[in-house]
Amino acid sequence: MTTHSIPQEKPTAVRRAGWLTRLRQREAKPYVHPYFGGILLGVLLFGSFFITGNGLGASGGLNRLLVIVEDAVVPDHIDRVSYLAEMAGGERNALDSWVVFVTIGVVIGGFASGLVNGRVRFETNRPAHVPAKLRWLMAFIGGGFMGYGARLARGCTSGQALSGGAVLSVGSWAFMFAVFGGAYALAYFVRRLWNE
């Protein structure tokens, strides 16, 4: 009489480790074609205007997330500064805005897209001659300038360029020419940070 062994189910911890390992080692899929991506972005922008009455944006949502923290720490300061008081002064809640939910959706959607396409990694993209710490420092400085500029311009490339440009706002078109002009002017001086 022969006995057949019944395969045992792997313990949960082993199954999870296998799933996480497979996720980490997944080969990255190629990026979507830029023209197709542009069409999808246009459809998304139209849908946003049609459904919510607002376009897209990101810096306003991030700004409000920071203001809610600031309001918890120094509420008197919020009430004294008119720019901040419009968002969170008195009984106002800084999170009570459509742009906060758009921003959260962008983060969740970006992560989900990276997960599905094998692009979720903890890494620092840099040329061999640039230390990782320098790359992070320059990213922090550049992000600080971009954040300040976005608030100064009353919007980022999503809000000003996409949403404002779509409705033919002159200020938004001027903003985009300034962004591209400034980027090309500065690129010469920092090109060694990303070129081999």
pLDDT grade, residue 159 (50/70/90)? confident
- At residue 12, the pLDDT reads 54
Model pLDDT for residues 27-41, shown as the tens digit of each residue: 888 888 999 999 999
Spatial separation of the C-alpha atoms in residues 148 and 42, rounded to whole Å? 27
Average pLDDT (9-18) is: 55
- At residue 40, the pLDDT reads 93
pLDDT at 19 over 70: no
Q: pTM higher than 0.85, yes or no?
A: no
Average pLDDT (136-162) is: 85
Average pLDDT (11-15) is: 53
